[in-house]
Structure 1
């Protein structure tokens, strides 16, 4: 069962990534990717994986040490739970990148590969996007976000 949950978690996120990469200008894509509920499918898998192991999970995460985290990740349910959590958060980061890319008017031929890079190596894809965003965004954006002027 754990192996199945591990395998299905990625496939639960694929439709959302596919919308951002292959249908970025479709109106429904923008609406769908604006919802934080896109993270629910992998988080349901996470919940199913950890519900029977809450005491071990709590002990590991409430006072993390390298050895205890390594033991946790060395279990099938622990590695699968972390995988589900990572995919959920990566999807939320990707959705934010997608929305920001649209706001900045970045071309889909730039954003598509960048989102694929983020799927594979999210910290590097996210960092690269932040650099592109800093270069392309208006310098006084911080004030307009706060004041809406």
Structure 2
């Protein structure tokens, strides 16, 4: 059962990732990216895996030490519970990144690879997105400032 739930966590999230990456800008993709509902099935899998091992899981997260996490990984369901948590968190981050990219006008051909990287190695994907977001925000602020400065003088001229 643990192996099935481990696999299920990924397969429940995969269709939503596919939408974010392959169908950007579609109305239904935007609606799904704005909804917490895609997370619920993955979180349910996490709970199904976490409840039976809750004392060990709680011990590992409430007093984080490497040894406690190593022990948790040896418990049946321990690695799968952490995996389902990571899958849910990655999807949450992917949805946020998608919405931010749409808001900032970042092209889908730039975001697609970043979202794939986030699925595979979320810390790297998110870090690169944060850099891109900061650069894009700075550029957008500079353009807005330039337009505001050009606007009144163009009217006076």
| TM-score, normalization by structure 2 | 0.84
Greater C-alpha radius of gyration: 2
2:155 alignment counterpart: none
Q: Distance in 2 between matches of 1:58 and 1:25?
A: 40
Secondary structure at 1:36 match in 2: coil
Secondary structure at 2:38 match in 1: helix
Cα pair 1:101 1:111 within 8 Å, conserved: yes
Match status 1:32 vs 2:18: no
Q: Distance in 2 between matches of 1:4 and 1:66?
A: 27
1:133 alignment counterpart: 133
Q: Which deviations, in whole Å up to 9, do the C-alpha atoms of 1:94-122 show, x marking residues without a partner?
A: 10000010011111111111100111111
Instruction: Name the count of aligned residue pairs.
Output: 140
How far residue 75 of structure 1 moved from its aligned partner, in angstroms, is 2.4
Counterpart mapping for 1:1-149 below 5 A: 1-137=1-137, 138-139=140-141
Secondary structure at 2:37 match in 1: helix
Q: Which stretch shows the higher mean deviation, 55-64 or 27-36? A: 55-64
Q: CA RMSD in A?
A: 1.3
Q: Distance in 2 between matches of 1:42 and 1:66?
A: 26
Q: Distance in 1 between matches of 2:56 and 2:117?
A: 34
Q: Which stretch shows the higher mean deviation, 71-80 or 128-137? A: 71-80
| TM-score, normalization by structure 1 | 0.89
Gap runs ≥5 in structure 1: 141-149
Q: Distance in 1 between matches of 2:76 and 2:124?
A: 27
Cα pair 1:3 1:76 within 8 Å, conserved: no
